[in-house]
Amino acid sequence: MKLQNKVAIVTGSSRGIGKATAILFHEEGAKVIVNYKTNKKAALDVVKGFDKGNYLLVQADVSKEADVKRLVAETIEKFGKIDILVNNAGEIIRPGNWKSDVETWDKTFAVNLTSAWLMTKEVVELMKANGGGAIVNIVSVYGFLGAAPVLAYTSAKAGLITMTKSFAKELAPAIRVNAVAPSNVMTDMTKGAGKELIETFRKQTPLKRIAEPEELAKAILFLASDDASYITGEMLVVDGGYSLR
C-alpha cells in the first residue's frame, strides 16, 4: 500500500475528483479526512465502505479561516498528525465571464484559490513537526489556456498554479508541493455544462473521451506518495491531450 498509516485531508471530497481520491487513498492504507461543505448525505456515501476508525468526516467551508482551523484541529485531535493535503475544493460559479459581478468574482476566488492558501498555511508547521509531507493542488489546464466563459474560474486556477510553485520553493525540502491539471472530467460540474458542450469537449480531446474522476485520483495518488519523492513544484497535466490543440 502506497499510503500505509498516512493521514490525508482531501478538501471537497463528497463528490467528483475529491470523492474518487478519498476512496483511493483509503484503499492505499491512508486515514482519510473527508471534507464536505453542505451535502452530508453525499459525504456519508463516500465513507460507507471505509474501515472503522480510519476516517473522519468534517463539515467545513474551506474558504473561511475559522472553518479551516477547526478542520485541521479536529484532524489532529483524531489522528495526531497530517501527512498529506489535497486542495481539491473548487467550483465554477456562473456567470463567470468578464461581465461577472464583484460578488461572483470574489466567491470564485475564495473557493478556488483562497481555500488552498488557508489550508496550506494551516498545515505547514504541523507537517514540518512530523518530518514533512506532501501537498497536491487541483488546478486546471484552463489555468494556462484561458477560457472566456469562465474567466473568473480560470484566473483563480492560474493563481493556484503560481501558488503551487511559490509554496514548493518556500516549503522545500520538508514538504513537496505539486499540482494536477485536468481538463474536462465527468463530474457534476462538467455534466452541468450540457450534452452538447460535453460532446464538443470529447471531439476536441485527442483520446476522444472525457476523463473519469478515478483517473485523476491515480495521478493525485502518485504525487502524494513516495513514488514522487523527488518531484516538487510540478504540474501534472491529465487531459487526454486536450491542451495540445
pLDDT digits (tens, 9 = 90+) for 139-151: 999 898 888 888 9
pLDDT exceeds 80 at position 234:
yes
Q: Does residue 49 contact residue 73 with C-beta atoms inside 8 Å?
A: no
142 catalytic residue (yes or no): no
The residue-averaged pLDDT of 201-210 equals 92
The C-alpha atoms of residue 47 and residue 63 are separated, in whole angstroms, by 23
Sign of CA dihedral 201, 202, 207, 209: positive
- The answer to whether residue 30 sits within a structural domain is yes
- The answer to whether residue 2 sits within a structural domain is no
pLDDT in tens, 18-51: 999 999 999 999 999 999 999 999 999 999 999 8
Residue with cell 471531439: 203
pLDDT in tens, 103-155: 999 999 999 999 999 999 999 999 999 999 999 999 999 898 888 888 999 99
Residues 6+ apart with CB under 8 A from 103: none
- The answer to whether residue 105 sits within a structural domain is yes
- The answer to whether residue 244 sits within a structural domain is no
The C-alpha atoms of residue 209 and residue 239 are separated, in whole angstroms, by 10
Helix and strand numbers, DSSP H then E, in the chain: 10, 7
- The answer to whether residue 95 sits within a structural domain is yes
- CATH number for the domain spanning 60: value is 3.40.50.720
Nearest to 138 by CA among 171, 115, 118: 115
In degrees and rounded to multiples of 5, residue 40 shows phi and psi of -65, -35
The DSSP annotation for 189-232 comes to HHHTT-HHHHHHHHHHSTT-SPBPHHHHHHHHHHHHSGGGTT--
Q: Of the residues 36, 142, 153, 242, which is catalytic?
A: 153
- The model's pTM: 0.94
How far separated are the first and last CA of the chain, in Å rounded?
37
- The answer to whether residue 162 sits within a structural domain is yes
Nearest to 233 by CA among 174, 180, 182, 177: 177
Instruction: State the pLDDT at residue 187.
Output: 80
- The answer to whether residue 55 sits within a structural domain is yes
Longest dimension (CA), the chain: 50
Q: Specify the number of domains making up the chain.
A: 1
- The answer to whether residue 39 sits within a structural domain is yes
pLDDT exceeds 70 at position 207:
yes
What is the extent of the structural domain holding 175?
7-237
pLDDT-derived band at 98 (thresholds 50, 70, 90) equals confident
Nearest to 228 by CA among 181, 176, 174, 173: 176
pLDDT-derived band at 181 (thresholds 50, 70, 90) equals very high
pLDDT-derived band at 193 (thresholds 50, 70, 90) equals low
- Residue 57: helix, strand or coil by DSSP? strand
